[in-house]
Amino acid sequence: MIRCLILFLLLCTATIFSQDTIPRYWIGFTDKINSNYTLNNPSGYLSERAILRREKQAILIDSLDLPVSQLYIQSVLAAGDFELWAISKWMNGVIIKTQDTLALDSIVNFTFVESLDKLKSNLKPLADNKFDQELSSKSTLLSIENTPYFPFGLTYMQHHLHGSDVVQNLGFNGQGKHIAILDAGFKNVDQTPALEHLINENRILSTYDFVRKENSVYEDHYHGEAVLSIIAGYEPEYYVGSATKASFHLLISEDVFSETITEEYYWVVAAEYADSAGVDIINTSLGYTTFDDSTTNHTYADMNGHTTIAAKGLNVASSKGILCVTSAGNSGANSWKYISTPADADLGLTVGAVDSNGIRAPFSSQGPSFDGDIKPNVMSVGWNTYYIPPGSSFADQGNGTSFSAPMMTGMVAALWEAMPELTNLELIDLIEEYSHLYEQPDSLMGYGIPNIYQLLLDNSNHQELFNSTTTILNVYPNPFNEELIVLYKSDSDKEIQIKMNSLSGQIFYNINFNVKKGINKLRIFQTNELAIGIYLLSVDNEVIKAVKSK
């Protein structure tokens, strides 16, 4: 089975749920004539943030925004032994769970019923483990003493490829942006040290499992936690995600125990929830091509950007002003080789995988979409990408476009924070334009690897941030006692000289440091012999005052 969801080896024992084999059915309705809501009063079904997003991007509220007719829903439920499982206003219908096939036969005769489709059969899955496994687990602990690349630590290279380290050091890290992650589970997010700032600062805005219809998501699959860590993980000097100040909705749309087209409907329902909650960005590290029931399989011809349920849903989400970032898939080296859905969607930003040197990962799914659109749109680091496993204090490396998508999602959040005047589609256009293959895109890497620092430099209204010649960014603690920390920004790999002089010119301290391009954290030791007083600290000829306190 071709999958593009899970991209690394199982890190911990997943909580076991009983498999629910009762079939699901999609019932599509003809209209929304009997809806209890109107276009003139959107606050009845959309949050203030959702309405403001539409207003800001000049998007009209239309019939897709209206909830499904309650009259139609109640009429269906009254017709048989049916359990309402999900409602989709964009697709205008419901998912029901039932074994009452006799009553189903009568529903097709209702005048307001347009379609009835079986989504999930009681067939057993084709395989016990539906997830691709492409990682040899290994732990890496980076020393935080005298480390360069502050504060990124071991994540520096996966940021530096895009210049996103510079963008974050300019102060843009997704603050104020709301991101929905649609995934398979978020195991131990509440027990992972690098994510505790999200809990402490109330930046996990909501959680919901659309597969099991419950709020709890922290005991489920680990994949979404890894995705979240790539965006939001924060252990300064050791690990930094791509948008550490963003806020999140953690939503489960993936059923890990089976592979059915139902999951595409769950994705749409979750995306509708995210839209109504007012999110700015949706990250999808999921993809679909074939299913346990082969009669429902997609073909490459279906990957035309607007045929599958998932692609239709993503296009609607984008039309509502949400920027949708999607993993391309991990099928580049097998017989399918093409992108999956919703990576094919016309209006999405589809992300393939490279390593931190910009070399394309062989497993990264290829384009174009069946109708010839450039897919993947861009590339990011999804090969030997650092992430934080559930509940762990240490980083591992993983492979897959499930990792390159959240890398790009965080960069999108940072750019949109810096340039809030852009629409979602304008931002996608700029990201493509500032990618290294923009003039000659291809089916393997699309427009290539974006340089988001250059994009920001050329297009933002923050020119004052780019003109600073200061190299000493901070010195602390000041006053100091036993040691002094210097944050030093270097324009290249080089050796610098650090001096500590008295006001009268007497030299007390003189040492050379090798620094790397970027921000370096330099620790000055052996200051115990200095008397209390004011000293002049010189770092590569830039001088500031430092006070010895005791």
Do 496 and 421 share a domain, yes or no?
no
CB 290, CB 248: distance < 8 Å: no
Regarding beta strands 93-97 and 396-398, do their DSSP bridges make them parallel or antiparallel, or are they unpaired? unpaired
Do 281 and 420 share a domain, yes or no?
yes
Which residues, 6 or more positions from 379, have their beta carbon under 8 angstroms from its beta carbon?
Answer: 351, 352, 353, 354, 358, 360, 364, 404, 435, 445, 446, 448, 449
Nearest Cα to 96, choosing from 127, 74, 63?
74
Would you give the DSSP letter of residue 44? G
In a domain, 129, yes or no: no
Last residue within a domain, chosen from 434, 463, 492: 463
Number of domains in the chain: 3
Report how far residue 52's alpha carbon sits from residue 277's, in angstroms, rounded to the nearest whole number: 11
Could you give the C-alpha distances from 194 to 138, 221, 235, 391, in angstroms and in order? 18, 18, 6, 9
Phi, psi of 463 (to 5 degrees): -60, -25
pLDDT of residue 416: 98
Do 90 and 177 share a domain, yes or no?
no
Q: Which of 91-105, 206-220, 501-515 has the highest mean pLDDT?
A: 206-220
pLDDT of residue 122: 54
- In the chain the first and final C-alpha atoms are separated, in Å, by 67
In a domain, 234, yes or no: yes
Report how far residue 83's alpha carbon sits from residue 97's, in angstroms, rounded to the nearest whole number: 5
pLDDT of 284-325, one tens digit each? Answer: 999 999 999 999 999 999 999 999 999 999 999 999 999 999
The strand pairing partners of 543, in sequence order, are: 538
Do 396 and 486 share a domain, yes or no?
no
Kindly state the tokens that stand for 490: 């270097």
CB 405, CB 327: distance < 8 Å: yes
Which residues, 6 or more positions from 100, have their beta carbon under 8 angstroms from its beta carbon?
Answer: 80, 81, 82
Could you give the C-alpha distances from 393 to 148, 191, 193, 194, 403, in angstroms and in order? 21, 10, 6, 7, 19
Q: Which domain holds residue 398?
A: 173-463
In a domain, 322, yes or no: yes
Do 185 and 305 share a domain, yes or no?
yes
Regarding beta strands 281-284 and 323-327, do their DSSP bridges make them parallel or antiparallel, or are they unpaired? parallel
Q: What is the DSSP string of 500-523?
A: EEETT--EEEEEEEEE-SEEEEEE
> pLDDT band at residue 120, thresholds of 50, 70 and 90?
low
CB 545, CB 534: distance < 8 Å: yes
Last residue within a domain, chosen from 407, 432, 463: 463
Do 479 and 456 share a domain, yes or no?
no
Q: What is the reported pTM?
A: 0.84
pLDDT of residue 35: 79
Kindly state the tokens that stand for 437: 């293959």
Would you give the DSSP letter of residue 322? P
In a domain, 131, yes or no: no
pLDDT of residue 506: 80
Q: Which residue carries 């992300």 as its tokens?
A: 351
Do 353 and 478 share a domain, yes or no?
no
CATH number at residue 209: 3.40.50.200
Do 493 and 422 share a domain, yes or no?
no
In a domain, 141, yes or no: no
In a domain, 458, yes or no: yes
Do 404 and 310 share a domain, yes or no?
yes
CB 329, CB 343: distance < 8 Å: yes
CATH number at residue 90: 3.30.70
CB 406, CB 400: distance < 8 Å: no
Last residue within a domain, chosen from 446, 463, 480: 463
pLDDT of residue 147: 52
Q: What does the mean pLDDT of the chain come to?
A: 88
> pLDDT band at residue 219, thresholds of 50, 70 and 90?
very high
Do 459 and 476 share a domain, yes or no?
no
Among the ranges given (59-73, 176-190, 452-466), the one the predictor scored with the smallest mean pLDDT: 452-466
Which residues, 6 or more positions from 454, have their beta carbon under 8 angstroms from its beta carbon?
Answer: 163, 434
In a domain, 168, yes or no: no
Any idea what the Cα angle at residue 403 is, between residues 397 and 405, rounded to 5°?
160
pLDDT of 377-392, one tens digit each? Answer: 999 999 999 999 999 9
- Judge whether residue 488 has pLDDT over 60: yes
pLDDT of residue 468: 65
Would you give the DSSP letter of residue 219? T
The strand pairing partners of 513, in sequence order, are: 496
CATH number at residue 482: 2.60.40.3080
Among the ranges given (141-150, 326-335, 352-361, 415-424), the one the predictor scored with the smallest mean pLDDT: 141-150
Report how far residue 135's alpha carbon sits from residue 153's, in angstroms, rounded to the nearest whole number: 21
Do 480 and 458 share a domain, yes or no?
no
Report how far residue 165's alpha carbon sits from residue 145's, in angstroms, rounded to the nearest whole number: 20
SS3 label, residue 247 = strand
In a domain, 17, yes or no: no
Burial of 191 (0-12, 13-18, 19+ CB in 10 A): middle
Do 260 and 398 share a domain, yes or no?
yes
- Judge whether residue 2 has pLDDT over 80: no
Burial of 326 (0-12, 13-18, 19+ CB in 10 A): buried
